[in-house]
């Protein structure tokens, strides 16, 4: 086993709210000495559909949004077949959900006295099947001079208890996991520390997850420990990644969290497991 092996299993391309192309992400990963990568865009697998042949160890991935008891739960799907019908249909469902929700959020913000337009929100996204969400609305608020930073946009308008927030249509963790399993993949609970209470986290983990993200961005050991314990108790595969978004979240650096070779290979060969 190569002790120097590091693979980042959580990052975003410009097909969702990251700023880099998939090719650039792979180049950056090589440059900093990573040995593997998974690009996990929000609600789309577009990064994998036209990638061509890549001379770098890659595991297919996606980060699906779901809801449990009114709270967002992000689920990473690894080693899925991106062309799988169920995956394609779920991505399409999310696209429609987001179109309706984005229109509602623009409406809610305009009720507060702004003059944003839905067309303007889409104008920067010529990329086919790009997932548009709150980070893009935050950028629009910056463009209109309403706020100075993305963080400020979330704190004042777009956070879950703020006036510009709309939940929109919801899909459960169970439904999402079932699609990931149907596409031969592993379902992993992303950034479990963001779930508001340990009690709720335990309830969420009753769904048939295969793994949990135990190493995240620049997590402290203190934060890590109880989560790693919960994963071990449930026999869940422990994964890790940076949640790199490029310029849109400059504080999360690619490779800041990672998995070793054994975990990477286990996921890479997921569909062949006995
Ligand atoms: P959405 O899927 O449209 O609800 O947007 C959620 C995304 O917004 C997350 O995946 C993050 O990338 C980003 N996000 C959530 N909260 C914040 C925050 N406080 N500051 C910056 N970005 C955030
Ligand atoms: Fe994001
Ligand atoms: Fe997430
Ligand atoms: Zn993410």
Q: Is residue 154 within 6 Å of ligand 1 at its C-beta?
A: yes
**For residue 136, which atom of ligand 1 is closest to its CA?**
3
At residue 271, the pLDDT reads 80
Residue 62 backbone dihedrals phi, psi, to 5 degrees: -155, 155
pLDDT digits (tens, 9 = 90+) for 83-104: 999 999 999 999 999 999 999 9
- If we measure between CA atoms, which residue out of 39, 78, 22 comes closest to residue 268? 78
Output the residue whose Cα is nearest ligand 1's atom 21: 151
**H helices then E strands: how many in the chain?**
10, 7
- Ligand 4 mean position, distance from CA 256 (Å): 14
Place of tokens 């993949």: 185
At residue 274, the pLDDT reads 56
CA separation, residue 130 to residues 12, 13, 29, 59 (Å)? 11, 10, 22, 20
Q: Is residue 133 within 6 Å of ligand 1 at its C-beta?
A: yes
- If we measure between CA atoms, which residue out of 170, 172, 164, 177 comes closest to residue 137? 164
At residue 127, the pLDDT reads 74
Contact 259, 9 (CB under 8 A): yes
- Give the integer Cα–Cα distance in Å for 118 and 62: 26
Tokens of 271: 């569909």
- Ligand 4 mean position, distance from CA 113 (Å): 31
Q: How many CB atoms lie within 10 A of CB 70?
A: 10
Bridge partner list, 77: 62, 187
Q: Is residue 150 within 6 Å of ligand 1 at its C-beta?
A: yes
Contact 183, 81 (CB under 8 A): yes
Output the residue whose Cα is nearest ligand 1's atom 17: 154
At residue 186, the pLDDT reads 98
**For residue 134, which atom of ligand 1 is closest to its CA?**
3
**For residue 12, which atom of ligand 1 is closest to its CA?**
12
Which residues are CB-contacts of 81 (< 8 A; sequence separation ≥ 6)? 60, 87, 183, 184, 185
At residue 210, the pLDDT reads 98
Residues (pLDDT < 50) of the chain are none
């Amino acid at each position: 086993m190569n002790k120097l092996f590091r693979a980042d299993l959580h990052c975003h391309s410009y097909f969702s709210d990251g700023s880099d192309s998939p090719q650039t992400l792979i180049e950056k990963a090589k440059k900093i000495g990573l040995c593997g990568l998974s690009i996990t865009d929000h609600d789309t697998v577009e990064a994998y559909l036209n990638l061509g042949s890549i001379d770098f160890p890659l595991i297919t991935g996606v980060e699906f949004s779901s809801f449990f008891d009114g709270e967002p739960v992000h689920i990473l799907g690894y080693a899925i077949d991106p062309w799988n019908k169920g995956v394609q249909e779920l991505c399409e469902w999310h696209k429609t959900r987001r179109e309706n929700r984005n229109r509602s959020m623009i409406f809610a913000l305009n009720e507060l006295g702004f003059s944003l337009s839905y067309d303007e929100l889409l104008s920067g996204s010529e990329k086919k099947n790009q997932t548009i969400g709150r980070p893009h609305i935050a950028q629009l608020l910056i463009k209109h001079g309403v706020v100075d930073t993305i963080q400020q946009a979330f704190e004042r308008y777009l956070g879950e208890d703020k006036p510009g927030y709309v939940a929109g249509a919801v899909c459960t963790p169970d439904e999402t996991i079932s699609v990931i399993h149907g596409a031969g993949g592993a379902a992993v609970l992303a950034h479990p520390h963001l779930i508001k209470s340990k009690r709720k986290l335990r309830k969420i983990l009753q769904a048939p997850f295969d793994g949990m993200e135990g190493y995240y961005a620049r997590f402290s050991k203190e934060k890590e420990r109880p989560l790693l314990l919960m994963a071990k108790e449930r026999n869940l595969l422990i994964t890790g990644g940076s949640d790199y978004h490029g310029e849109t979240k400059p504080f999360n650096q690619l490779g800041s969290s990672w998995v070793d070779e054994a975990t990477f290979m286990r996921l890479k060969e997921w569909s062949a497991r006995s």
